[in-house]
Amino acid sequence: MTPEQFLELARVLPEPLLLVSSDGQVLATNQPVADMLGLRRQELRGKTLFELVAESANDVIRYLQACSSSRAMVIGSLTLRKNDGQTLICRSQGAVIQPWSPESLALILLRLENRTLASSNFVLLNEKIDELAKEVQKRKQAEEALLKANQELEIRVEERTTALQETLNKLQLTQTQLIQAEKMSSLGQMVAGIAHEINNPVSFIHGNLHYAQKYSQDLLKLVQIYQRFCSNTPLEIQKYVEEIDLDFLIQDISKLFQSMKVGTERIQEIVQSLRNFSRLDEAELKQVNIHEGIDNTLMILEHRLQSRHEYPEIKVIKKYSQLPNVTCYPGQLNQVFMNIIVNAIDALEALVVNDQWSKVNPKTTYNQTLIKNNPQIEIKTELIDEKWITVSIADNGLGINQEVHSKLFDPFFTTKAVGKGTGLGLFISYQIIVETHKGQISCFSAPGEGSEFVIKIPIY
């Protein structure tokens, strides 16, 4: 940059600017510099920097050399001698415009700034910086507070969502239990009604069989007396006697009445079992015979235990101990027995359908084959002490793996196909035994070794 070019640039700038050479010669200035010195700009022509400042020549030379050799702006301090004899301390910023070369000196642009004004500007700048820093800090704190609030809100929303989901699950479970309880209550009422309606005519028939048998025996005896005293019976009577095979009729009619009596007694037993099992809605504790409840349940399920189509007979092995009467809710215990025995039957039938029976129970000796290779359910009762009894129901099916075992008593958990089970049987059984009767229910099973449910309930 030539002095002329500098003057063209500096003329439009409000800042005090000097263009000097590296040996201290003042090449050009602008009006703000002349104003600071109290001189006219023409009076500055031919001046050196050494004449304008109070610093020693060596200090000025070192400063100019530093500016010449640096690529960045070099900040320093120069004390100007004003025309009125006073001095003015200025901060200077020097930057090389034309680097030094063997042919010419370096050209240095000096920007001067009144230190007092610079200091006040610096203070103002610091204040602005402090204000800005405080504002940044406030914003940072606000962002952190907002982030924390968002995190807390997310946690609260998650907690509330979890609580609502748990409440919804409880409501669904309660609704399902109420529906199940209503179904069982309706079933109990229906079974009790059917048992009552069947019992009346059966009792009438059973009660009259004795008299019908006695009357028929009397009539047959009268016929035999007629035969003994009236040897010359008419031909028509003889033909009818041969036609009805009177001798066979006399022998068979007693067997017929005996068979009818056995049949009506069987119906009465079934009706009694239905009545006992239908006590599902009884709300009072009663002393009952546990074996009677198990037998009633087995009688109701007898059609599923018998051999039918592709299913072999499921043998029930009873190992009853001498037990005292137990104070309990009999209808609810019957429901527990029903749930567990039905699950055992389903498990055994599933093995037969899937043709896995021989894989579960491999043949050994002939006697063991008869025992192991036939589906069976073993029901065992035991008196532990004067306060507790146990009922165990075991099958010799496929067994249960650990993953299923851990979820057995969870609500709505089932391994059965859709429409085959609700997943509430064992959950309700757990509630009846543990919560209602203050007892215990456990399952012991391993793959390939069958399953055993052990129910422990207090006697009183």
Residue 182, pLDDT > 60, answer: no
DSSP label at residue 433: I
Residue 423 tokens read as 């997943």
Tell me the pairing of strands 286-288 and 87-98.
unpaired
CA–CA distance from 431 to each of 56, 262, 332, 387, 440 (Å)? 104, 40, 10, 20, 10
Predicted local distance difference test score (pLDDT) of residue 1? 59
Predicted local distance difference test score (pLDDT) of residue 369? 39
Predicted local distance difference test score (pLDDT) of residue 168? 83
Residue 12 tokens read as 């439009």
Which residue, among 1, 41, 39, has the nearest Cα to 21 in the 3D structure? 1
Distance, in Å, from the CA atom of 206 to the CA atom of 301, rounded to the nearest integer, reads 25
Burial class (CB in 10 A: 0-12, 13-18, 19+), 128: exposed
Describe the strand order of the beta sheet including 87-98 as a list of residue ranges.
Answer: 26-29, 17-21, 107-114, 87-98, 74-81
Average pLDDT for the chain: 81
CA–CA distance from 361 to each of 61, 398, 415, 447 (Å)? 110, 9, 22, 12
DSSP label at residue 25: B
CA 55 to centroid of chain Cα atoms:
84
Torsion region of 381: left, alpha or beta (phi above 0 gives left; psi -120 to 50 gives alpha): beta
Q: Residue 80 pairs with which residues in a beta bridge?
A: 53, 88
Q: How far apart are the first and last CA of the chain?
A: 115
Of residues 362 and 328, which shows the higher confidence score? 328
CATH 3.30.450.20 holds for 3-105: yes
Q: In what helix (H) or strand (E) does residue 428 lie, and over which residues does it extend? A: helix 425-430
Burial class (CB in 10 A: 0-12, 13-18, 19+), 314: buried
What percent of the chain is predicted at pLDDT more than 90? 21
Reduced to 3 states, what is the DSSP secondary structure of residue 60? helix
Of residues 372 and 396, which shows the higher confidence score? 396
Distance, in Å, from the CA atom of 180 to the CA atom of 423, rounded to the nearest integer, reads 12
Predicted local distance difference test score (pLDDT) of residue 371? 41
Q: Tell me the CATH class for 282-460.
A: alpha beta
Distance, in Å, from the CA atom of 459 to the CA atom of 369, rounded to the nearest integer, reads 39
pLDDT confidence band for 279 (50 / 70 / 90): low
DSSP label at residue 316: E
Burial class (CB in 10 A: 0-12, 13-18, 19+), 434: middle
Residue 77 tokens read as 């301090």
Q: pLDDT per residue over 207-265, tens digit each?
A: 888 888 888 888 888 888 888 887 777 888 888 888 888 888 888 888 888 888 888 88
What percent of the chain is predicted at pLDDT more than 70? 81
Which residue, among 293, 300, 457, has the nearest Cα to 391 in the 3D structure? 457
Residue 411 tokens read as 């609500």
Q: pLDDT per residue over 26-64, tens digit each?
A: 988 888 999 989 998 888 888 999 999 999 999 999 999
Residue 18 tokens read as 């000097």
Residue 282 neighbours by CB under 8 Å, 6+ apart: 329, 330, 331
Q: In what helix (H) or strand (E) does residue 294 lie, and over which residues does it extend? A: helix 290-300
Residue 122, pLDDT > 60, answer: no
Reduced to 3 states, what is the DSSP secondary structure of residue 186? helix
Predicted local distance difference test score (pLDDT) of residue 388? 95
Average pLDDT over residues 295-306: 86
Residue environment code for 111-125, b if the CB has 16+ CB neighbours within 10 A, otherwise e: bbbbbeeeeeeeeee
Structural domain boundaries of the chain?
A: 3-105, 155-278, 282-460
Residue 275 neighbours by CB under 8 Å, 6+ apart: 191, 192, 195
Predicted local distance difference test score (pLDDT) of residue 6? 67
Q: pLDDT per residue over 386-425, tens digit each?
A: 999 999 999 998 888 888 888 888 877 777 665 566 667 8
Residue 152, pLDDT > 50, answer: yes
Helices 290-300 and 330-353: angle between axes, nearest 10 degrees:
40
Distance, in Å, from the CA atom of 107 to the CA atom of 328, rounded to the nearest integer, reads 113
Residue 237 neighbours by CB under 8 Å, 6+ apart: none
Average pLDDT over residues 317-331: 92
Predicted local distance difference test score (pLDDT) of residue 366? 34
Strands (DSSP E) found in 203-359: 286-288, 315-319, 326-328
Of residues 363 and 98, which shows the higher confidence score? 98
